[in-house]
Amino acid sequence: MAHFVKGLVAARPVLERLARRHALPEPAGLAAGLAILPLRDSDLDSFLKGPYSGDPEGDYYLSEQFSEELRAASRGAAIMYFETEYFGGCGAQAAALFQDGEPIFGPAVAKIGPINEALKLLGVRVEPPACDEFDTVGLGRHCTVEDWLK
């Protein structure tokens, strides 16, 4: 199974403001009072003033410029950026969490863990039958950005 998603998770009003500011699609609802703003590479470009120059490995999109945008968006709120890139059980995930204009977690990249850690800091608690915070909020509902956008 594959899972390739980049996006932001926060309270819906936080994401709605960002979506309007950058002419992006409306966020989709998640559990635990959160929403997701799925991001295509072209959407991420809307946050940058010039060409993307993030991780030289090309694995992680959280550039310094994008981080500054997320710091600003998190003033008075919290916002998480995440990426998943899995195919056939191999791959990695990344997450960073900003709150009140400051980074409070990450950026962290690992085979498992960073997204759940950031979600815990957002106040998400595992609700059975889910096995972790990722499942509790419903991030596994769709496996691609395009599916989230439908």
Q: So what's the pLDDT on residue 56?
A: 43
Q: Pick the range with the lowest mean pLDDT from 59-68, 95-104, 109-118.
A: 59-68
- Judge contact between 107 and 94, C-beta under 8 A: yes
- Judge contact between 121 and 97, C-beta under 8 A: yes
Helix axes 64-73, 12-21, angle to 10 degrees: 130
pTM: 0.91
CB atoms within 10 A of CB 118: 26
Q: Pick the range with the lowest mean pLDDT from 20-29, 43-52, 107-116.
A: 43-52
Average the pLDDT over 128-139 and give the result.
94
Q: Shortest CA distance to 73 belongs to which of 103, 115, 108? A: 103
Domains contained in the chain, number: 1
Q: pLDDT tens across 43-58, in order?
A: 888 877 655 544 444 4
Q: So what's the pLDDT on residue 2?
A: 82
Share the mean pLDDT of the chain: 88
Report d(CA 34, CA 18) in Å as an integer.
15
Angle at 26 between CA 15 and CA 23, to 5 degrees: 85
Q: So what's the pLDDT on residue 88?
A: 82
pLDDT confidence of 90, banded at 50, 70, 90? Answer: confident
Q: So what's the pLDDT on residue 50?
A: 58
Range of 44's domain?
2-149
Report d(CA 83, CA 108) in Å as an integer.
10
Residue 130 has pLDDT above 80, yes or no: yes
Average the pLDDT over 50-67 and give the result.
61
Residue 114 has pLDDT above 90, yes or no: yes
For residue 148, report the phi and psi dihedrals to the nearest 5 degrees.
-65, -30
Helical (H) or strand (E) element with 118 = helix 114-121
